[in-house]
Structures are given as C-alpha cells and as structure tokens.
C-alpha cells in the first residue's frame, strides 16, 4: 500500500528526509509494540461492545494483531521509518493484513492518548519487575547480615572511627533504604494507574465509548478524569525517574563503601573476581569496576530526571511534540536501575568478609570512648563533665600509644575518681555493642531480631 503519512492529505508537499530522521521515534519507541497491541485489542473490543465496530471487523483486527505480535516476538516484523513511530508501523501492517477493518481501529482515539496509555502499560510492568529485583537484593543483604550479626566493625562518622557496630547492622541500613525505594515505587505505580485512552487528541470523543470497560481489561484502577491532563501528563514518568534516581543514590553509597572496604588499606571485604578487572600494565591490580560503574551510572539516572523536568516545564496544554523526548530518558533510567540491581544482587551473594580486619579497625580510634562517658554518667557524673573527662583520657591514651582498654586503672582514675575495675568490661568492643540492645540498636540480638522482622515483612 502507499507509504503516505496517515495525516498527509492536509499537506501540499512531502516531509523532507531530514525531518523524517529528526522527528522519527521508531528506534526507541518500538519497545512499546506489544503494549500498543494489547491496548489496541482492548480498544477494539470496547468499540464492538459499543456498536461502533462490527463483529466481522473485530475478528479481523484480533486476527491481524495476533499475527503482528508473532512477527514482532520472532523478529520478523519489518519496521519502516516511513511509518514514523511504533503506532503507525503496527497500524500500517494491520491494514496490509486485514484491509478496511484495520483502518477502523483508530476510531475514537488519537496517537496522543494511545502513546500515553502504552507508556503507562510499559512503565507499570517495569516497576513490577524492578520492585522484585529490589526485593531480591534485600534478601541478599539479609543473608549476609545474618552471617555477620556479631561481626564487629567500626562505625564511621565523617569517615573517622566513631563507635563499634556489627557488619550485619551496617548492611541492615541499606535494607531499610531499599525498603523505602520499594515503597516509593509502589506509590508511583498506584498514582500512574489511570487510563488515558478515550481522551483522544485532547477533548475526548463524540463516539459513545466505555472507558471503564477498557480500564478494567487493561488493569487500570479507573479512567483518567480530565482529557487534557490525560494526554499531556508525564508526572508518572518524572516520579518514576525520581524514585529511580534516589534508589541509585542508595546503591551508589553502598558501592562507594564496597570500593573503600575492598581497598587493602581497609581490607574489610573481597569482591568476587568476576566483578573486577585488572590493569593493562600493573599485574597486581584488582579493580572494583562494577561498584565504580554503578556510582557513575547514578549520574546518568539523575540526568534522566532532570531531562524530564526541563522537558515539561514550559509546555502549555495539551500534547506537544516535545513529549516524544520523554521515552529515551525514561527507558534508560529503568534499564540502568534494573541492570544495577541485578548485578549487585550477584555481587553481594559472592561477597567475602574479613572479620579480623574489621575488628582490628574497630580497635583503632578509641571507638569505645562514648561507652566510657556513658559509664561515668551511670556513676552519677553529668554527661558534659563525663564527656570532658573522657576527652582528656583519650588525649592521654593517644600520647601513651595505648587504647583506653589497656590503660592502667590508676591512669584512668586520674580523669575521674568514679572509675572502678568494672570499667574494663565497658571498654571492650563486645561490651560496647552488647550495651546497645534496643530496637534499631547494633547489639547482635537486636540485629537478629531485626532480620527476623525483615524476612517476615518480605514474605521470606
């Protein structure tokens, strides 16, 4: 059949080849193809139920779209730049296959509400997949946390040794971050789950359509309430990119720690070899490429969010061609988050932990100084006075090149007469950790209890 544009009757000259290339979206929107077919089938069935299509036409459309689905899934579908985008490629092929019935499918809809629907269907599926990947990574973290519920390591503030914690407790912090990410994605999915189809170009349609029927068939909670908003809204894409960017920030923070921990100066963990690379000239190198690349890709996803915000900021209602630019950043953000979650799931599963190195680091930097101050408070000293006394004790220990736990009792009593022999139980790493036995604390018993609650919440 003719390769003329579906709207070409209005124009006296054909579109230039340069403009065709510049405005074409086929290279990236073809991934919407199966969602487009799914929405078209629901639309056609509704048209038939409303008496707008004949049963003969509906059967032909269903047959043609089924054939197109098979062609796409087998890689045999012939995509054409002449047809501009995924929607017109499918429509053109449908008309080739079933003739006049294919021309009737576009009754009571526009590409504006069509693409808005396809994009929501695609993103809805992507969110479901990503949320499951987040859940898998959370389980991996729980597995490692359970193994290391009592493995002592230094907790840091300002990247300086602060207080002893356990490695299991540290990993549970990332479990919590990812839990919020899953929750945000679920909220995003709920808000986006409204059907645009039926809004047509911007004002609705004069045909007696049943939007609620289409919404039910496609799994939407309800039709969108305003036709102008339905075709022009890209809040759902922006919100997803915001969720994705924050999730990537969480993953990037974890990756930064993996880079630090795997450095020989720390030596806390060893990454599986399959996630690292070597150097072209330094044979000893084992570079943490995957965590480093995840840090870099975080900027890419944040960039997608900024792109969509800027894309929408100056658009009047309703649909504008600018919105063609929404797909590439959205697709890339979803792909990047999906791939990063998948690769980190495997990396965490293969992580090897050096508990001895963690413990040695926790013994540096006077990490039990706060426990010393708390001890003096329990002995009746005001906290600010206890803080000052311990600060002087730390300065003395530093000059003596000894940890607080190795200072003689007489030396410790120089800073407060309230110090007794029981101080040494307080100044041990295990004593410090065990003392923090409350919900959210780092005591091994609390870490294990938190893991049990987390597994129950995940359903695992």
Q: pLDDT, tens digit, for every residue of 33-68?
A: 999 999 999 999 999 999 999 999 999 999 999 999
Q: Which residue numbers are catalytic?
A: 158, 279
Mean pLDDT computed over 425-449: 96
Q: Could you identify the residue written with the tokens 């005001």?
A: 382
Check residue 4 and give its pLDDT.
Answer: 52
Q: What percent of the chain has pLDDT over 70?
A: 97
Structure tokens at 136: 């898998």
pLDDT at residue 425 greater than cutoff 70: yes
Q: Is the pLDDT of residue 87 over 70?
A: yes
pLDDT of 12 > 90? The answer is no
Tell me the mean pLDDT in the region 112-129: 98
Is residue 285 over pLDDT 90?
no
Q: Looking at the DSSP assignment, which residues form a beta bridge with residue 270?
A: 352
Rounded to two decimals, what is the model's pTM? 0.93
Burial of 50 by CB count in 10 Å (0-12 exposed, 13-18 middle, 19+ buried)?
middle
Least confident among 113-122, 217-226, 240-249, 272-281: 272-281
Query: Residue 219 — very low, low, confident or very high, per pLDDT cuts 50/70/90?
Result: very high
Q: How far is CA 30 from the centre of its chain?
A: 23
In this predicted structure, what is the pLDDT of residue 6? Answer: 55
The average pLDDT across 178-182 equals 98
Please give the Cα distance from 158 to 395 (Å, whole number).
20
Residue 33 φ/ψ, nearest 5 degrees:
-55, -50
pLDDT of residue 177: 98
pLDDT for 225: 98
* Contact status, residue 112 vs residue 319, Cβ threshold 8 Å: yes
How do residues 352-367 score in pLDDT, each as one tens digit?
Answer: 999 999 999 999 999 9
What does each C-alpha distance from 422 to 93, 336, 426 come to in angstroms? 84, 54, 7
| Per-residue confidence (pLDDT) for residue 8, from 0 to 100 | 62
Q: Count other Cβ atoms within 10 Å, centred on residue 453.
A: 11
pLDDT for 3 = 47
- Using pLDDT thresholds of 50, 70 and 90, give the confidence band for residue 424: very high
C-alpha 236/C-alpha 258 separation (Å) is 33
Average pLDDT over residues 83-91: 94
State the Cα–Cα distance between residues 194 and 419, nearest whole angstrom.
Answer: 67
The residue ranking higher by pLDDT, 9 or 231, is 231
For 297-349, write each residue's pLDDT tens digit: 999 999 999 999 999 999 999 999 999 999 999 999 999 999 999 999 999 99
Q: Are 81 and 20 in contact (CB under 8 A)?
A: yes
Least confident of 13-27, 70-84, 413-427: 13-27
- What percent of the chain is modeled with pLDDT above 90? 90
């Amino acid at each position: 059949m003719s390769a003329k544009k579906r709207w070409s009757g209005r124009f006296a000259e054909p579109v230039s080849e340069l403009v065709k290339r510049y405005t074409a979206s086929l290279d990236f929107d073809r991934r919407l193809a199966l969602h487009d077919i799914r929405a078209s089938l629901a639309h056609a069935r509704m048209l038939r139920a409303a008496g707008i299509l004949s049963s003969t036409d509906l059967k032909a459309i269903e047959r043609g779209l089924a054939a197109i689905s098979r062609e796409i899934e087998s890689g045999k579908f012939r995509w054409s730049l002449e047809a501009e985008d995924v929607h017109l490629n499918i429509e053109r092929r449908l008309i080739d296959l079933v003739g006049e019935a294919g021309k009737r499918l576009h009754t009571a809809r526009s590409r504006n509400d069509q693409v808005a629907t396809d994009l929501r269907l695609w993103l809805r599926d992507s969110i479901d997949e990503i949320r499951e990947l987040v859940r898998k990574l959370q389980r991996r973290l729980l597995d490692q946390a359970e193994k290391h519920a009592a493995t002592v390591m230094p907790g840091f503030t300002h990247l300086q040794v602060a207080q002893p914690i356990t490695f299991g407790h540290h990993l549970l912090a990332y479990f919590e971050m990812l839990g919020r990410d899953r929750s945000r994605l679920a909220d995003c999915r709920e808000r986006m789950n409204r059907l645009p189809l039926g809004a047509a170009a911007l004002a609705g349609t004069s045909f007696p359509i049943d939007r609620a029927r289409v919404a039910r068939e496609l799994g939407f909670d309800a039709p969108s309430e305003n036709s102008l908003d339905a075709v022009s809204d890209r809040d759902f894409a922006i919100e997803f990119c915001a969720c994705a960017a924050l999730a990537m920030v969480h993953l990037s923070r974890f990756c930064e720690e993996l880079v630090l921990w795997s450095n020989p100066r720390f030596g806390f963990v060893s990454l599986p070899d399959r996630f690292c690379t070597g150097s072209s000239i330094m044979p000893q190198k084992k570079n943490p490429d995957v965590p480093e690349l995840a840090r870099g890709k975080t900027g890419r996803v944040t960039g997608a969010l900024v792109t969509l915000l800027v894309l929408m900021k100056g658009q009047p209602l309703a649909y504008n061609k600018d919105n063609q630019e929404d797909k590439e950043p959205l697709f890339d953000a979803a792909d990047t988050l999906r791939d990063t979650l998948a690769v980190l799931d495997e990396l965490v599963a293969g992580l090897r932990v050096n508990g001895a190195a963690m413990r040695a680091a926790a013994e540096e930097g006077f990490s039990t100084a706060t426990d010393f101050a708390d001890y003096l408070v329990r002995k009746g000293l005001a906290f600010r006075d206890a803080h000052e006394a311990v600060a002087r004790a730390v300065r003395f220990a530093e000059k003596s090149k000894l940890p607080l736990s190795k200072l003689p009792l007489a030396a410790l009593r120089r800073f407060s007469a309230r110090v007794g022999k029981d101080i040494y139980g307080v100044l041990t790493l295990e004593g410090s950790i065990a003392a923090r036995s409350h919900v959210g604390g780092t005591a091994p018993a609390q870490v294990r209890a938190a893991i049990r609650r987390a597994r129950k919440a995940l359903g695992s």
